[in-house]
Structure 1
């Protein structure tokens, strides 16, 4: 069955399917949850693309405070959304007594979640690298600031007093220091998000792996059952042949005995 056909079947309302339809499901909760998760995954993919576009502006002339704020907000929102969807995916993966079409839906959701999360993790790493580079450059510039202050003081000494220059310089240093502290806090938040989502990815991958092992075991059991059934059938056929041969021998023996008895009786009478 093609993907389009299965999607069409999944999109049909439950009450529109016949019970003799192999894709019929009487579990509307599974259907509701799976459709909700797929919708959220599509939204996540769209937001990851938006985040990637914003991160591309970091470190360029188009970087602004507003861009940095959008990047941080999107990173935080996406991290929380992935955790929420991940819990839903884990829940639906542990659903019991699923039909073949539901099993396909489980696999599809797990695959889409892992792919989208992998993309987001790549974007996270890009943001982390750019933030680290930016913070390192700002720290280096701040360390070199005293040399610039001395030079500026010599150049503009006739216009400003040394005290005014020192105060202005200190204010700038304090401002730059606060920006660096803020960026380092952002870096820690991104690193924490990367760690949390790595754990979530491993959890989902582990569940999918366990399901794969279970499916392998089921397939193996089916094959074993098939082999046992064939062996039993062969044994039954062999037993049937033996029984037929035994009956044939018994009949032949009875016939011989009857002939001998008939000859003895005739000989006695004559």
Structure 2
């Protein structure tokens, strides 16, 4: 049985179970519209995030770009959690109409597509942050500007001291940069893990819905087979009753003839 046939049957059952026709649940529609709006916003975030991540590690890399990446990652993670919970609620909706069933599937497909794209961007950001930390560590370990040999004059000593201080400032800056980016790496890794758990939960619910749909289809097919069997039995019973009535009529006719003969014999005798 096709999905369209199954949906038609389900719709018919709901119409029979509920007086009158049916209409989509306003709460379901409202939730679906909210999720669609958030998914649209997420797509916009993903586009911006992709552009900014592509600049990391290039000549266009700067503090503002990294700040935007951080903000977009945080905002998008929170939105994905909200959308994921909403999709779970939509998937768990009871007594859905065929239109609502289509909406359930459409929302999950869009959520899945956006989620995969976002997770890919998070992994790219993670790789670039790790590469940046490695480069910062290498810079911190290079004593650029350390003194070379003994100073022969006070002026030279002062210049070397200023150079040493400048190098120390650079080392401190690199260490602070390393700490900041390592924290961002931990945040990204945590975000990837949390969203993977959420997506797994949503996917499991969708899988269960599919299994339920298969079970309904099997039940409908069994009902169809049973109905055919019952129809065959009813036709057989109808033929049997027809034959029985024909035989009864013949028997009554024979009895009537015999009774007539008997009566005539009595009267004539």
Distance 1:133 1:253 in 2: 103
Shift of 1:170: 2.3
Q: How do residues 1-270 of structure 1 correspond to structure 2 at under 5 angstroms?
A: 24-25=23-24, 27-143=25-141, 145-146=142-143, 148-150=144-146, 153-154=147-148, 159-161=156-158, 162-263=160-261, 269=268
Distance 1:125 1:168 in 2: 35
- C-alpha deviations, 1:170-229, integer Å up to 9, x for none? 222121111111111110100000001111111111111111111111222222222212
C-alpha change, 1:135 and 1:226, in structure 2 (3 Å) is: same
The CA deviation string for residues 5-59 of structure 1, in whole angstroms up to 9 with x for no partner, is xxxxxxxxxxxxxx9876x33x322211111111111011011100100000001
Q: How far apart, in 1, do the equivalents of 2:157 and 2:47 lie?
A: 50
Unaligned ranges ≥5, structure 1:
1-18
Q: Give 5+ residue unaligned stretches, structure 2.
A: 1-18
TM-score in terms of structure 2 length:
0.83
Shift of the alpha carbon at 1:266? 5.0
C-alpha RMSD over aligned residues: 2.4
Q: How many residues align?
A: 246
Pair 1:20–1:256, CA change in 2 (3 A)? closer
Aligned equivalent of 1:13: none
Counterparts in 2 of 1:156 and 1:194: CA distance versus 1, 3 Å: farther
TM-score scaled by length of structure 1: 0.82
- Residue 13 (structure 2) aligns with: none
Q: Is the 8 A contact 2:38 2:83 kept in 1?
A: yes
